[in-house]
Structure 1
Amino acid sequence: MNQQRYPRRGVYLLPNLFTTASLFAGFYSIVAGIHGHFRVAAVVIFIAMILDGLDGRVARMTGTQSAFGAEYDSLADVIAFGIAPSLLVFLWGLQHFGKFGWLGAFVFTACGALRLARFNSQAHNTSKRYFQGLPIPTAATVLASLVWFSQTEKFAWVGAIAPYLALGFVYLLGLLMVSNIRYRSFKDIDLHGRMPFALAISLVLIVAAVAVHPPLVLFTISVAYVLIGLLSTLWQLSQRRRRRR
């Protein structure tokens, strides 16, 4: 009697371990924020971002990419970079703004989820060199670094204006995530090949700057990334209008 054979079902362990670790970091950030440990919650979001970047790299290097891994990664990103940072800024400073505060936190979370859904639906049709819309990990980095920056004793004066900045950021970052503005993905960089010596020196300087004052440098880099993508897109649109005229 012939037995019908079914394909073996399973998931790749290694990349999904990094995704699970990123999800755990996002969940831990939520717990820390609820207990008022805002600095810890902000730092853990950065750890989640590092783990989120590693799972895709590991999957591509080991040839273990799968549709399950992509969907699982997006679900983990909603928790780690959508709910966790929005809840963090709400508990830290936005709750004093009433409806505008919790509505801004929701807008950030909803736009992040829409951004991920659009990315998954267009993953095979878009260029890997650029993202369409601001990536949700970068948006989460802006909020987390702002909270972390405001918690430092050397810059205590930032704590007075930081909640107002966060209120504007949650709406602005949410709109940028669902916009058509292009942001460089850096996925086309070959880590196995040679790189220019100037680029290697720049990376060393960036790492050294982060080591000197992590929250200030990370906040500056993340905001600069947001502004560069926005300004470059506006410049390209102006050039197209001039050509049409």
Structure 2
Amino acid sequence: MSDPAAVDIKPGRGLPFRAVAPNAITAAALCLGLTGIRFAVDGNWEVTLYCIIGAGVLDGLDGRIARLLRAASRFGAELDSLSDNIAFGVAPALILFLWSLQYAPKFGWIASLALAVTCALRLARFNARIDADDQPHKSAGFNTGVPAPTGAGLAFVPMYLWLLTEQDIFRDWFVVMPWVLFVALLMISSIPTFSWTSLRLRRSWRIPALAGVGLLVGALITAPWLTLLAISALYLALLPFSIASYGRVKRRRADRLSAG
């Protein structure tokens, strides 16, 4: 919940439910992330991933519900960042360490730390700029770097492949470690990435888009690991296009400034 607008609370009255609901969803996302660690300790990797995926779904809902209920607040924004850090930084780092990186002869824990630390730094950068007037990426409808939930989803690509193919090579530390470091770099990078605010649908595409979302949900239920792999591959394939798209926006802004 990045909107810092405060909820109007009159003196002498309790906190309205509309102010509690979005923060409760954020807290639930945090709990799901921690629960994923609990199942990772038991080696129940599928349930572990379901927990992180569930946390990602809730993270996508809390801010939208807050804006819908006009209940966005500075407290909610801070809680959202703390929840993201735990659910999509600390939890994936520990899960990947328990699953694979603990078997690395050296630096396995360092790779896990890299994922957690870069997630925390990315969120700190976001919070530091939340009230800044000059935010070129955000004002153009782009994110700066890969968002924390997306980064967590990308970090688990080797686990998706392992669950899908049952090939132990995808669990080997020498495959997982460079991938985790690559995702960590994407999260802390300054490359512009597409955000939901940069997507525009024509009116004629609304019904097909809704059908596509329904089919995507069905695919996630029927073949979750293959679907998540496809989503991850599509996201990575779109990175060059997001960089090129922001480059065009930047050039148009520069042209307007020079003309003015």
TM bin (shorter chain): 0.7 to 0.9
Q: 1:227 to 1:101 in 2, by over 3 A?
A: farther
1:83 and 2:90 matched: yes
- Count of matched residue positions in the alignment of Structure 1 and Structure 2: 232
Q: Is the 8 A contact 1:81 1:137 kept in 2?
A: yes
Q: Is the 8 A contact 2:191 2:243 kept in 1?
A: yes
Aligned with 2:79 (options 72, 75, 86): 72
Write out per-residue CA displacement over residues 136-188 of structure 1, whole angstroms, 9 at most, x where no aligned residue: 10111123353244134xx112x313434421221111111111111111136
Q: Is the 8 A contact 1:209 1:217 kept in 2?
A: yes
In the superposition, the TM-score normalised over structure 2's length comes to 0.78
2:180 corresponds in structure 1 to: 170
Name the CA distance, whole Å, in 1 between partners of 2:114 and 2:74. 28
Name the CA distance, whole Å, in 1 between partners of 2:15 and 2:176. 42
Name the CA distance, whole Å, in 2 between partners of 1:98 and 1:232. 38
Q: 1:161 to 1:87 in 2, by over 3 A?
A: same
- 1:165-244 equivalences under 5 Å are 165-187=175-197, 195-230=205-240, 232-233=242-243
Name the CA distance, whole Å, in 1 between partners of 2:106 and 2:241. 31
Aligned with 1:132 (options 138, 144, 156): 144
Shift of 1:45: 0.2
2:55 corresponds in structure 1 to: 48
Q: 1:37 to 1:102 in 2, by over 3 A?
A: same
Name the CA distance, whole Å, in 2 between partners of 1:148 and 1:86. 16
Name the CA distance, whole Å, in 1 between partners of 2:200 and 2:31. 29
Name the CA distance, whole Å, in 1 between partners of 2:204 and 2:29. 30
Q: Is the 8 A contact 2:146 2:187 kept in 1?
A: yes
Name the CA distance, whole Å, in 2 between partners of 1:34 and 1:79. 16
1:151 and 2:160 matched: no
Amino acid at match of 1:160: I
Aligned with 1:15 (options 14, 22, 37): 22
Q: Is the 8 A contact 1:130 1:184 kept in 2?
A: yes
Q: 1:200 to 1:171 in 2, by over 3 A?
A: same
Mean CA deviation greater in 209-218 or 37-46:
209-218
Q: Is the 8 A contact 1:21 1:51 kept in 2?
A: yes
Q: Is the 8 A contact 1:26 1:44 kept in 2?
A: yes
2:65 corresponds in structure 1 to: 58
Shift of 1:42: 1.3
1:102 corresponds in structure 2 to: 109
Aligned with 2:170 (options 155, 161, 165): 161
Mean CA deviation greater in 205-214 or 114-123:
205-214
Shift of 1:197: 3.7
> Which SS does the other structure have where 1:183 is aligned?
strand
Amino acid at match of 1:30: I
In the superposition, the TM-score normalised over structure 1's length comes to 0.82
Name the CA distance, whole Å, in 2 between partners of 1:236 and 1:49. 26
Write out per-residue CA displacement over residues 25-78 of structure 1, whole angstroms, 9 at most, x where no aligned residue: 011011111222222111100000011111111101000000000000100111
Amino acid at match of 1:137: P
> Which SS does the other structure have where 1:99 is aligned?
coil
- Segments of 5+ residues of structure 1 without an aligned counterpart are 1-5
The 4+ residue runs of structure 1 with deviation greater than 3 A are 6-11, 162-165, 187-191, 193-198, 234-238
1:119 corresponds in structure 2 to: 126
Name the CA distance, whole Å, in 2 between partners of 1:208 and 1:51. 18
Name the CA distance, whole Å, in 2 between partners of 1:15 and 1:116. 19
Amino acid at match of 2:27: T
Mean CA deviation greater in 57-66 or 10-19:
10-19
